Structure 1
Amino acid sequence: MGTARKFFAYRLLSMIWLVLIALQWIDFTEPLWFSSTTSLVTITIIGIALIEVLLPLKAAWKWTVKIVYIFGVWRLVLTSYGVYVPTGPLFPDQLRGMVLSFTPYIWFSLAAWALLEIVTRLIVNRRWILFFIAINLIAFAIIDSFTSYYLWSNVAWIVFAGLGWLVCYHLYEYRRKYPQGWQRLRRKPLKIAANILLIFTCVLLIGISMPSVSPILTDPYTAWKNRSEGQGGSGGTAKSKAAKKAVPTSSVQEEVLSGYSRDDRKLGNGFEFSYTPVMTVQSSVRSYWRGETRRIYSGKGWADLDEEPRETKRYKGAATSEPLEIEQPGKVEKREVEQIVTMNTNNTYPVLFGGYSIKSVELLDERQETPDMRWTSREAEMFWNGYKRNSKQPDYPQKYKVVADIPVYPIEKLRQASYETLYKDDPDKDYLQLPSDLPQRVKDLAKQITAEGKTPYQKMELLQSYLSVNYEYTNKPDLSKKKSDDFVDSFLFEIKQGYCDYYSTSMVVMARSLGIPARWVKGYAPGSQPNNEAMMMRNPGMSGEYRVSNADAHSWAELYFGDYGWVPFEATPGFDAPILYTEEESTETMAPETPEETQTVKQEEGFLSSIDPVILRRISAVAAGVLLAWLLYQFRNELYFIWLRIRLGHALTPGEKTVFGTLRAVRRLRRKGLQRSDQETLREAFSRWKEERPQLKDALSELLATFEKASYSPAAISTHEWRKVQQLSNQLVKLSRQRTTKG
């Protein structure tokens, strides 16, 4: 029992240090993850650690408990955050809903669980502990030095946990190898604990209280930032996940960060994601935050505003101003939505952002002078202080209110509308422009992809689906594969990977080649809602606050469909254009499903929906009951000793297990007809049974010898002897079924 207690104490303390280190990584990732993901991973790690240390179960039972716990945590946490809303009976409706809703959150939880299991089995000695602590310290040091994160306090906590782990391992080894010396140390526990605590406290306080001082040498991150200065949002060279890359101002290729682009004349270079905040938008409808559009495709990118000038109208931005007009608005129902934009950066932008088309703008910050805002009714852009690429944007507003008109599309009617119905008048040729040297294979591919579509909208759905499914998303495309001079042609046939600029530009160019007017739009994707992002994704009609960073900079396509106006299309994988549909077509849903998605959903639903849910629940209940009964029978011995441990309040030694196991075998033999009176000793009963059942003689003799050794001998029972008792007990029960005939 002493060895078990020593091991348990060390296991418990080492798990505490391991969890403390894991929490430092969770603290580091918290700004990057949704709060639901952070909570899920934290509860997973703490719960699995407690199960691993505190439950005295065999491996099979312990894994069963862990799996049940993990499923329970997924449901509890993700339901509380609104990621999944239970509807219908538990099986099959809720089970099917959980399967469809829990990803990708559960992958973070499973990864954390797997890492914890690996580390707990790998870190078994001092050398591995030192290696593990060193790896963590090096990782945090690199992140602290080469990024904007300040992780000194996390490093201090890791040092604290590492020292604690090493001290516990040292004491554990000392107690195991030198039990007499350990007994002497135990006489002064407070003195030892006070010294250790004093050292640990000093290390921790020094670590977390270090003042910020100027370094003698410039660290790598600062040097890199200084070298790249001028590439941020204000410089207009950085782009994003959906946005574009900037062209460096020097002859040396510098690293480009994501953000709102100012120059789209040459697209395609790789970039790094920047998660610096840009703005917060309060809106009752989830939207893309639209900035500018482009209409002239050059073959390398999109023409500058100097080459495609705008007709602008000055706008004062007062509450009493007339509603803004827009050309080609479409004859569809529109929802008027107020959106309050609060800028979280000092960078300036050429436009004000809003959902779909802006109806009015009101500045909410205090200013004396009337702003110079310019509205372009044709492109639906609100420029701040002119629209020239090189013009400055001084005094950019920090807070403003946009009233936007969000169209509600009758998608089914649009799907059925023919080309002749949509384009009674000749389409605007500016939005059908293509370079004279556009490779023919681009046009041929567009025709091939959309051949099965009967109407313009159906053709565009096929085109959108093809691009999102057949090309890989990456922020660093392999440009070594590029041979064609045309940006779209090289993407479709050579590089075959890219980010939003690749997909959106290809969508516009291929749509134009089929006679569908299209334009290229840049701005920002909706951003994140850390508390209930998944719920808002399913229901864009819910109000909320959207946090937009440079990583959300994005570009997409808008296609013109006559009386239905301009409709956003999203070909970039992982993105869904937030489109409102009419009520008869499921109001306020996301972008229309592609044919592949529709087929997949039908296949997923068809398997369970084809069987009566009541029958499924009954079959499942019976199967679960049978499985539970089988498990209880298979692990009956383990359950018995778990109950004994709880009853006695401590872990049983092999000797105690031998005594209780033998007495339990006697009770089992009683059910086979071998009775023992209250006055008989175990030796007397066994002697009588040997005469009655000769086939039991050898097993009874060996079992009795081990029992008496455990009960009366000072010698300790080994684990091997205890296992032998288990085998003898099972053997006796089997042999007792055989009846001996006397002749």
Structure 2
Amino acid sequence: MKQSQLLSFLLYVLGFMLILEWLLPLEQITQTSEIHYFVVFVLLSLLLNFLQAPWFISWPLKAAFIFCALFAIFSGEMGLGAWTSQLVDEIRINTVMVFKSVWLDLSPLYRSFLFFLLLWQITYLLRYWLTIKRKVFVFYVMTILYVTLLDTFTEYSGRHAIVRIVIIGFTLLGVLFFKRLYEKEQMEDQFSLLGRWIIPLFLVVCTGVGIGYLSPKAAPIWPDPVPFLESKAESIRNGGVSKIGYGMDDTQLGGPFIHDDRVVFIARTPTSQYWKIETKDVYTGKGWVASSQASAPIADIQYGEVRRLDTVSSSNNPIQEATLDFEISYPHIVRPYGFLSVEKQTEGNGFVRYDSRLDKLHTFTEQHHEERLKSYTITYREAVFSKKALRQTQNLPGGADYTDFQEQYTQLPETLPRRVHTLAEKLTAEHDNWYDKARAIEAYFQTGEFSYDQTNVAVPANDEDYVDQFLFDTQRGYCDNFSTSMVVMLRTLDIPARWVKGYAPGNYKGMSDADNRLYEITNNEAHSWVEVFFPEQGWVPFEPTKGFNNPIEVVNDEHSNSTSSSSSDESVPESEETEQEEQAAEIDENSSSGNEFTLRESGFAEFFMKYWRTIALVLFSIIAGASGLFISRNRWIPRLLIWKYKINKNDTTFAEAYETLLKRLDSFGLKKGPGQTLRNYASVVDDHFGTTDMSQLTERYEKLIYGGEETHTNWEYSKELWENLIKKTIN
């Protein structure tokens, strides 16, 4: 091994030891496991950098290692072919999530993939800092801050890590200083000088660290911030803050809550869903209660028996299954829209009782005792609604049945302030059908006037209305505020609406098999939304809460049967047509469920899902080409400069070419010192290359610049010298 290679190898070893201090705490403070794969990848990357392997060798090797590591960690008992297909699907689906900035729902496999790419970049940057810039102080300071923060705010103990980092860091800084000094002074016998430099340096650093570690320490001047923060959190908990999750009592809404990450159930389903539990129909001014159940029809449903409960517009969709495994079980069924049947997965007989007033399914044993199921499978047809039919609804049909129905689902307290009515009428004045009115109110809550907040949420006083306070005073809250306000505003317009409780789709955890996705639903996903009744379509869900998406699909079928005629005297005005197109685009954009990333999510997502292979190939080609040009820039830039200046034959070109040569030598590593004369710098360059070309070229340059000798043959005579020096910077 050459002297320069030995010094570079030592720098890479010390750099790897610093990166290792970033990786070691991960297994303790996060859910990251199999750290050794990441450590080996860093070793492989640094080794390839040290050997200066070309990119067309190093890139495939790194990519192959990442693939093998991910396969070893996540494949389980799956075969290579099946797992490769799953990997492609995971990357495709999660990439769409990245474009939509849904970071928390990324799968563990995709996060590990991104972490490998991050380490790839870090090792490249470390090579740049160590061998080109020869400055690593910023990275060293960041490492110290990283470990000290983990030691302060997590269970990780950085006591020994700090000692290691100080020793490694000061040794690394000392070796880098030696390398810069050696190259600047052009000293000989590097092995001997390095030994006389590094051994005393290492001893001094170790002695200083040892004395500091063993010496008695004074008590800290500042108090530990962690107990202070914990005490503040405890005081908040004791101040009446609720914990989020599904509850039965909705009579008093409002007030802040804290998060609860406990898993309620795991869902295996082909599509993302809103998980419905029950509805409430009586608004009290403070919250929701259920109306009298005396006249509500009760139906007992056997497990496996098909019973359509909510939508009437999904008969053409294929039957799908969702399997739910509960960590926290309740005596009711959690169901998606388009429910058909439920099949019990545990032993024993029993049945499900449907309460139509609450729109809720209760589970019972054969002895009519409440039962909490740990697992069950639901069959359903994904709900799809006709936009044309929805827009045709302007009122309810006549009849005694609908009279009672209208009264029940447009109920409002007499104390509701009049300004709530006025606002609803103002927002919907331009629309003549229920659907567009509901969409107008839904869109109103997405404006900048309202903020989603879970902590600074007011509780109405005795003389205040919950909805009125939110709409006109605070305009800050969470799902209960938004959904209750929309239901109340719709009811002021005599549109039947009700309040719905359940869970948002949950956190996507990857593919459970070839056809099903895995979702983890925690108490944090407890959610409420709105349902509006349309006689021809049934109860249709709407989502007013800021930051959430409408859980259903609306098919734009308004123009499917229409024909155009150039001779027709009746045409749609351009402004009206544009407005309809904008409304259709807006509805389509919001028509998908919670965290569902499918073809109908958005125009970009649809395009990406359809042409993702082509996009991936094009992006890979662009990135590979750009990276190849960047990595090989020290090879092609000098040749480009030679071609550029070869065709020019005037003295101005010579001056420009000489200044370009100085920049190339600087990027090559031969830096001109502050105050150093050109002649002195030229001698340093000649000593490095073993020539006299730079001194001759500098002498001609000084005559041109300072002596005023403007001969037309100056550049022609100097071109060969300049070209020889440029070629020496090719590496």
Provide the TM-score with structure 2 as the length reference.
0.58
Q: Which amino acid aligns with 1:168?
A: L
Q: Deviations over 1:721-742 (max 9, x none)?
A: 89969977998999548999xx
Q: How far apart are 1:496 and its partner, in Å?
A: 1.4
Q: CA deviation at 1:399?
A: 0.8
Amino acid at match of 1:323: V
Are 1:289 and 2:270 counterparts?
no
What pairs with 1:55-134 in structure 2 (closer than 5 Å)? 80-81=88-89, 102-104=99-101, 132-134=142-144
2:169 is equivalent to residue 169 of structure 1: no
What SS does the aligned partner of 2:508 have? coil
What are the superposed Cα offsets for residues 402-459 of structure 1, whole Å, 9 maximum, x if unpaired?
2335433112331233336699943432211111111111111111111122211011
Cα distance between partner residues in 1 of 2:42 and 2:469: 46
Query: Hey, what does 1:381 align to over in structure 2?
Result: 360
SS at match of 1:492: helix
- In the alignment, residue 339 of structure 1 is paired with which amino acid? E
Matched, 1:354 2:335: yes
Q: Residue 383 of structure 1: SS of its match in structure 2?
A: strand
For 1:18 and 1:722, locate their aligned partners in 2 and report how far apart those are by CA, in whole Å: 45
- Which of 519, 530, 533 is residue 557 of structure 1 equivalent to? 530
1:460 corresponds, among 429, 438, 448, to 438
- Which residue of 178, 183, 190 corresponds with 2:192? 183
Number of the residue aligned with 1:418: 394
Q: Which one of the candidate residues 385, 406, 414 is aligned to 1:428?
A: 406
CA distance in 2, matches of 1:419, 1:717: 95
Whether the 8 Å contact between 2:410 and 2:495 is mirrored in structure 1 is: yes
CA–CA separation in structure 2 for the residues paired with 1:317 and 1:175: 81
- CA 1:378–1:636 in structure 2 vs 1: closer, same or farther (change >3 Å)? closer
Taking the aligned partners of 1:16 and 1:312, their CA distance within structure 2 comes to: 71
* C-alpha distance in 2 between matches for 1:372 and 1:460: 37
* SS of structure 2 residue aligned to 1:339: strand
1:399 aligns with 2:375: yes
Contact 1:24 1:157 in 2 (8 A): no
CA distance in 1 between partners of 2:354 and 2:337 (Å):
14
Pick from 534, 546, 552 the counterpart of residue 579 of structure 1: 552
Q: Which amino acid aligns with 1:354?
A: R
Q: 1:408 aligns with which of 381, 384, 388?
A: 384
Matched residue type, 1:476: Q
Q: Secondary structure at the match of 1:353?
A: coil
Q: In 1, distance between residues paired with 2:420 and 2:246? A: 28
Cα offsets for 1:695-722 (capped at 9, x unmatched): xxxxxxx9999877755x699999x989
Cα distance per residue 1:188-209 (max 9 Å; x no partner): 999x99xx99xxxxxxxxxxxx
Give 2:245's aligned residue. 259
Could you tell me whether the CA contact under 8 Å between 1:333 and 1:408 is conserved in 2? no
**Cα 1:47/1:348, change in 2 over 3 Å:** same
Conserved in 1, the CA contact under 8 Å of 2:451 and 2:475?
A: no
2:424 match: 446
Which residue matches 1:503?
482
Do 1:83 and 1:101's aligned partners in 2 also have CA atoms closer than 8 Å?
A: no
Return closer, same or farther for 1:460/1:429 CA change in 2, 3 Å cut-off.
same
Whether the aligned pair in 2 keeps the contact of 1:503 and 1:571 (CA below 8 Å) is yes
- Structure 1 match to 2:654: none
Cα gap change, 1:185 to 1:478, in 2 (>3 Å): same
Which residue pairs with 1:339 in the alignment? Answer: 321
User: 1:352 Cα deviation (Å)?
Assistant: 1.6
Closer/same/farther in 2, CA of residues 182 and 528 from structure 1, 3 Å limit = same
What is the identity, as a one-letter code, of the residue corresponding to 1:554? H
Aligned mates of 2:43, 2:255 — CA distance in 1: 43
Secondary structure at the aligned position of 1:264 is classed as coil
Q: What residue is the counterpart of 1:365 in the other structure?
A: 346
Structure 2 gap segments, 5+ residues each: 54-58, 64-84, 105-110, 207-225, 561-580, 591-601, 608-621, 652-676, 718-731
Equivalent of residue 137 in structure 1, options 131, 138, 147:
147
Q: Which amino acid aligns with 1:417?
A: T
How much has 1:105 moved relative to structure 2? 6.9
Where 2:267 maps in the other structure, the secondary structure is strand
1:527 equivalent in alignment to 2:509: no
Structure 1 range deviating more: 726-735 or 555-564? 726-735
The question of 1:323 aligning with 2:299 is answered: no
Shift of 1:291: 1.0
Residue 540 of structure 2 is aligned to residue 567 of structure 1: yes
SS at match of 1:469: coil
In structure 2, the CA distance between the partners of 1:295 and 1:7, relative to structure 1 (3 Å rule), is: farther
Offset of residue 571 of structure 1: 1.1
Per the normalisation by structure 1, the TM-score is 0.57
Q: 1:455 to 1:715 in 2, by over 3 A?
A: closer
Question: Structure 2 CA distance, aligned partners of 1:412 and 1:636?
Answer: 59
Separation in structure 2 between the aligned mates of residue 162 and residue 260 of structure 1, nearest angstrom: 50
1:400, CA displacement in angstroms?
A: 0.8
- Residues 135/409 of structure 1: CA separation in 2 closer, same or farther (3 Å cut): same
Which whole-Å CA distance do the structure 2 matches of 1:466 and 1:505 have between them?
14
Q: What is the aligned residue count? A: 563
Is the contact between residue 301 and residue 354 of structure 2 (CA under 8 Å) also seen in structure 1?
Answer: no
Contact kept in structure 1, 2:510 and 2:517, CA below 8 Å: no
CA distance in 2, matches of 1:600, 1:21: 45
The one-character-per-residue Cα deviations of 1:456-491 (angstroms, maximum 9, x if unpaired) are: 101111111111234444343534697772221121
Distance 1:382 1:593, change over 3 A: farther
Does the aligned pair in 1 maintain the 2:276–2:500 contact within 8 Å?
yes
Q: d(CA) in 2 for partners of 1:165 and 1:553?
A: 49
What is the rounded CA distance, in whole Å, between the counterparts of 1:51 and 1:730 in structure 2?
A: 46
CA gap of 1:106–1:507, structure 2 versus 1, over 3 A, is closer
Q: Deviations over 1:367-393 (max 9, x none)?
A: 4xx44743213433112459xxxxx99
Contact conserved, 1:559 with 1:567, CA < 8 A, in 2? yes
1:680 aligned residue: none
**Alignment partners' CA distance in 2, 1:169 and 1:642:** 32
**Residue identity opposite 1:436 in structure 2:** E
Identity of aligned residues (%): 22
Q: Distance in 1 between matches of 2:45 and 2:710?
A: 38
Give the 3 Å change call, closer, same or farther, for CA 340–184 of structure 1 in structure 2.
Answer: same
CA distance in 2, matches of 1:26, 1:563: 56
Letter of the structure 2 residue corresponding to residue 139 of structure 1 = L
Confirm or deny: 8 A CA contact 1:341 1:401 kept in the other structure: yes
Gaps of 5+ in 1: 33-37, 57-64, 70-76, 86-97, 146-150, 198-218, 229-246, 387-391, 610-623, 645-660, 675-701
